[in-house]
Structure 1
Amino acid sequence: MTDNAPAGPLPAESPESSGPGTAPATGIAYDAVVLAGGGARRLGGADKPGVQIGGRALLDRVLDACADAATAVVVAAPRSTVRPVRWAREEPSGGGPVAALDAGLRLTSAEHAVVLSADLPFLGADTLHLLLAALRDSGADGALLTDEDGRDQPLVAAYRTAALRRALADLAAEHGRLTGLPLRRLTAALRLTRITDPLASFDCDTWDDIARARARIREHGHVLNEWITAVKNELGIDLDVDTRVLLDAARDVAHGVARPAAPLTTFLIGYAAAQGKGDAESIAEAAGKVADLAIRWEAEHSGGESAPDAG
């Protein structure tokens, strides 16, 4: 494998996929089916779900995006993952995406299901929420993304589970099996609505695609969130933290006390929060106290406070 420079710019980030927390929660319960058992022929047969983008396996990045699913089913041979999942396998193994989807869907029970490939480095929960909301509001059988060329991406989609099961049963009855059938045979039988999101639908089919994805997450506007997420996963921390609060506190300490004090102080903020409730509010409270202390510290040593009256 060679990490060459990106072959071209990635699609621009759209409002629908602008980062964690930007889309409202839909309140729609759903299961997730992730197809991760392909042959990765364009990668020379490499273990594509395990390829690292920003220190996280592609499969783990997709599982993070659907972390609020009631059940997550991965159709592939079992492996270590950052989140608990159920495992399924199409029969025979390597039977194609329609057979894999059928195998995964058998382990779901929610009224809605998101169906995803395992090679989507920029998919986020906000995009899944948008798809589920579009599905609910349109009355269609499914809501899927289209890429920058306007092509349907049926493996970045939300579906009504009953509609998927009916279409799969009809295909099986018509062809006698699901093995080897293309996905377009399945989606042709469904009423679909579409959302264009070139970034969230970007998938890693080739080593050039992987190089482009790795380059993008190191850009200035993305590297901090990517790094913080990777660290949380590495340490097993499942907590949404307002990084701006910590950065503001670190900046005040570096400016008002000493630069080396900033990283040590943020460690102490986290330790103090863990001694309490250990939630985002505790971190914000501790960071606020430290920021105030840094301002007082600087004022003392810069003459910002007036001397007390002598008499």
Structure 2
Amino acid sequence: MEFDAVVLAGGGSTRFGGVDKAMLVLDGVTLLDRVLTATADAVSTVVVGPVRTTYRPVAWTVEDPPSGGPVAGIAAGLSHGTAPVVALLSCDLPWLTKEDVTTLLNGLGDHDGYGLRDTDAREQQLAAAYRRTALAEAIARVGDPSDKSVRRTLTGLDLAWSDPTRAGDDVDTWADFDD
């Protein structure tokens, strides 16, 4: 199935003391490059955030105005690519693989979106595949996307979820690397 990848990598990493979370290295690979490896089969890939060095070429964009939060980042990312399905991923999913992205695409079925649950069974909206039209309509409904809640923005979409999986575990603190 053809898909575009939108990778959110513009957060302030405040819980990491301002360290650029996307560039943290685990087993010799940055968190951002781990997600880019998992999405290597995308027709197009855009990273929403400041330009960094990555292992493969990608498009770059930032939300307008900058620091507008993840919904504004999603809106900026959706302006890239044309595939009918979008893999929407945060840059802090170090255990995500190509196989997990395939699971997202295959799980979509007739739903608006299909996402991963983390090992605590939390639904990860930023580790999911969405129908581009459904995601774009959800963004349009909120009006100005700056500082909007992802969960509230996606309310009303028909979403399905995986069983809990390590691939859905994001890293928000240093302790998350030890899990």
TM-score for both structures, normalised by structure 1:
0.56
Q: Does 1:161 align with 2:128?
A: no
Runs of 4 or more, structure 1, over 4 Å off, are none
Which residue is 1:104 aligned to?
Answer: 77
The alpha-carbon deviation at position 149 of structure 1 amounts to 2.3
Report which structure shows greater RCO (CA 8 Å, sep ≥6): 2
Structure 2 residue corresponding to 1:182, chosen from 128, 144, 149 = 149
* Residue number in structure 1 paired with 2:35: 62
The gaps in structure 2 that reach 5 residues or longer are none
**Greater C-alpha radius of gyration:** 1
Q: 2:16 aligns with which of 43, 50, 59?
A: 43
Q: Structure 1 CA distance, aligned partners of 2:21 and 2:83? A: 28
Deviation string 1:133-191 (CA, Å, 9 cap, x unpaired) is 110x2x0100011122221100100000011111111111xxxx110001011221211
Q: 95, 100, 112: which is aligned to 1:141? A: 112
SS at match of 2:136: helix
Deviation of 1:105 after TM superposition, in Å, equals 0.6
**Identity fraction in percent:** 45
- For these two proteins, the number of residue pairs brought into alignment is 179
Structure (1/2) with the larger helix percentage: 1
1:201 to 147, 168, 178: 168
Task: Deviation per CA, 1:205-252: give whole Å up to 9, x if none.
Answer: 111123x16xxxxxxxxxxxxxxxxxxxxxxxxxxxxxxxxxxxxxxx
Q: Which consecutive residues of structure 1, in runs of 5 or more, have no partner in the other structure?
A: 1-27, 214-311
RMSD: 1.0
Q: Report matched runs for 1:202-217 at 5 Å.
A: 202-210=169-177, 212=178
Match of 1:253 in 2: none
Amino acid in structure 2 at the alignment position of 1:69: A
